[in-house]
Structure 1
Amino acid sequence: MVELKGDERLDYLLAENLRIIQSPSVFSFSLDAVLLSRFVNVPIQKGKIVDLCSGNGVVPLLLSTRTKAAITGVEIQERLYDMAQRSMDHNGLSSRIEVIHGDIKEMPEQIGYSKYDVVTCNPPYFPTPSVEEINKNEHFAIARHEIMCNLEDVMRVSSQLLRQGGKAAFVHRPGRLMDILHFMRMYRLEPKRLQFVYPKSSKEANTILIEGIKDGNPDLKILPPLVVYNDDNEYNPEIRRILYGEE
């Protein structure tokens, strides 16, 4: 039996035979993380993957269904790290997925430069607001705002961890696209694939998925758009397939 603490619950990852520990008082995973885990190209049989800003470990869990590579998750918040570790134990994945409690900025020194085939990250999306505006819940504030790391930190660390030719994939907001492209190129992560995600076909995009290759040749491909809901506010078939495994 899995150990649950306080207000924690054990949720299903619906398209997979996996369970994940979540809590309403800390930042739970969203569709963004699920989309990132499906978007990124990963080696099937072997390799080394690191997921930065792992939260409760949803991206490593989902990646484990697509690859046999060794996966490392990095999370700075102790409570989320602890939840992620117990989720790995409950799913019998502790031998394949290592969870590290630490600051991503220290990871190249701690786990090695230029050793990873893939880096993924669902980073904080928003610059840190004033003290009056920031969420009073520390867990939510750190997950949403660039308090512990900023976009440049994410790109720099991703490049430092990746071997030449390795891939880095991120999920973010369209409003930060120019910053993302700027920092990716600054840190030798040549953008190669970009996909816009729309809540509805009539709405503006609210999410982007982007993948780059360390020291890759310039050649950015814009993938077909991904639309989450139809006009009846139901998930479109592609989203249902991603979330529930339905064809």
Structure 2
Amino acid sequence: MKIKNTWVKNSLGYDNNIYIYQDKKMFNYSVDTILLANLTSLNRKTKRILEIGTNNCALSIFLSQRSKNIKIDAIEIQKEAIELAKYNIEMNKLENRINLIHNDFNNWWKIYTKNQGKKYDVIICNPPFYRKETKIKKNISKSLLQATHEISLTIDQIIEGSSKIINQKGYLSMIIPPERLVDCFVSLRKYCFEPKRIIMIHPRVKQKAILAFVEARFQTGWGTHFEPNLYLHPDDESKHEYLEEIIRLYKPIKIK
């Protein structure tokens, strides 16, 4: 496959010897991708994972480094993103562990359940952050708009579909803006998920949260736990490096 002029090669995390190509015009991975991959609960019993909306496959590729025993299905609606994801999987020699699915999740899960597809232990998603009616920035590409706004897929649709294809007590994890937490909680309860772990992510100690990690479990007991906040940068606003705790999370946490 020929590398396009708009593709740029980047390292994925720190000291991992993992690289991916990203497209300047499309969604690019950031700290939320890394945190989602490492904060999600995995254990030795975890075998089958689904990523909804993989885009360039950064999340699935990073997640795959946590254990050699997991198999990941990664679904994506955009043709251009699938092409890029396929190249990244091949470059990292993960063809036997990450299976790409080019489809619309809203249609795919219905066909999957009709065919009695095997259910997943973990479903992970870095969903579109913004409601469809949110004011859109000028000059945003169509592919980036689809990745960041609820044009083709909403949080409610993600949770509904996930409820049909996940094992009992399976994990569903997402990172969303704090402003979407109530939307998320309402949908989780509606489809028999219980939000179990919440972690608020702040740029600095004195600044408000910009992200929220949410991990829910399907058909399990009630009870939500707010874990200690994560802070990305030092208090001194002139310093932009990550704190040691965040740097540690930029390396895959191996399953013991």
**Shorter-chain TM-score range:** over 0.9
Q: CA deviation at 1:227?
A: 0.2
Q: 1:237 aligns with which of 233, 244, 250?
A: 244
Matching residue of 2:18: 18
State how far apart, in whole Å, the 1-side matches of 2:44 and 2:66 are: 7
Alpha-carbon distance between aligned partners in 1 of 2:245 and 2:108, rounded to the nearest angstrom: 35
Give the direction of change, closer, same or farther, for the CA distance of 1:219–1:46 in structure 2 (3 Å limit): closer
Match of 1:223 in 2: 227
Q: Which residue of 1 aligns with 2:216?
A: 212
> Which SS does the other structure have where 2:246 is aligned?
helix
Q: How far does residue 119 in structure 1 lie from its aligned partner after superposition? A: 0.2
Q: Percent identity?
A: 27
Residue by residue, what CA displacement relative to the aligned partner does 1:198-218 show, whole Å, maximum 9, x if unpaired?
011110001000101100101
The answer to whether residue 35 in structure 2 is matched with residue 35 in structure 1 is: yes
Distance (Å, rounded) in 2 between the aligned partners of 1:24 and 1:154 = 26
Matched positions, count: 244
Alpha-carbon distance in 2 for matches of 1:135, 1:216: 44
Query: d(CA) in 2 for partners of 1:84 and 1:220?
Result: 35
Question: Relative to 1, partners in 2 of residues 1:108 and 1:212: Cα closer, same or farther, differing over 3 Å?
Answer: same
The alpha carbon displacement at 1:233 in A equals 2.5
Query: TM-score, normalized by length of structure 1?
Result: 0.93
8 A Cα contact 2:13 2:34, kept in partner: no
Determine the structure 1 residue equivalent to 2:133: 129
Alignment partners' CA distance in 2, 1:157 and 1:135? 32
Offset at residue 93 of structure 1 (A)? 0.2
| Structure 1 residues 25 and 40: alpha-carbon distance in aligned structure 2, compared to 1, 3 A threshold | same
Q: Distance in 2 between matches of 1:168 and 1:209?
A: 11
The structural deviation recorded for 1:111 is 3.6
Distance 1:91 1:222, change over 3 A: same
Would you say the 8 A contact 1:44–1:69 is kept in 2? no
Partner of 1:166: 170
Task: Work out the CA distance in 2 between the residues paired with 1:13 and 1:145.
Answer: 24
The alpha-carbon deviation at position 96 of structure 1 amounts to 0.5
How much does 1:45 deviate? 5.9
Secondary structure at the residue paired with 1:28? Answer: coil
- The counterpart of 2:195, out of the listed 166, 191, 195, is 191
| Equivalent position amino acid for 2:39 in 1 | F
The yes-or-no answer on 1:98 pairing with 2:71 is no
User: Separation in 1 of the partners of 2:206 and 2:53?
Assistant: 32
Contact 1:14 1:244 in 2 (8 A): yes
Checking the alignment, whether the CA contact within 8 Å between 1:50 and 1:73 is kept in structure 2 is yes
- Residues 94/160 of structure 1: CA separation in 2 closer, same or farther (3 Å cut): same
Q: Which runs of 5+ in 2 are unaligned?
A: none
TM-score, normalised by the number of residues in structure 2: 0.89
Report the RMSD for the aligned CA atoms in angstroms.
1.9
In structure 1, the partner of 2:4 is 5
CA distance in 2, matches of 1:132, 1:23: 20
5+ residue gaps, structure 1: none
Aligned amino acid, residue 76 of structure 1: I
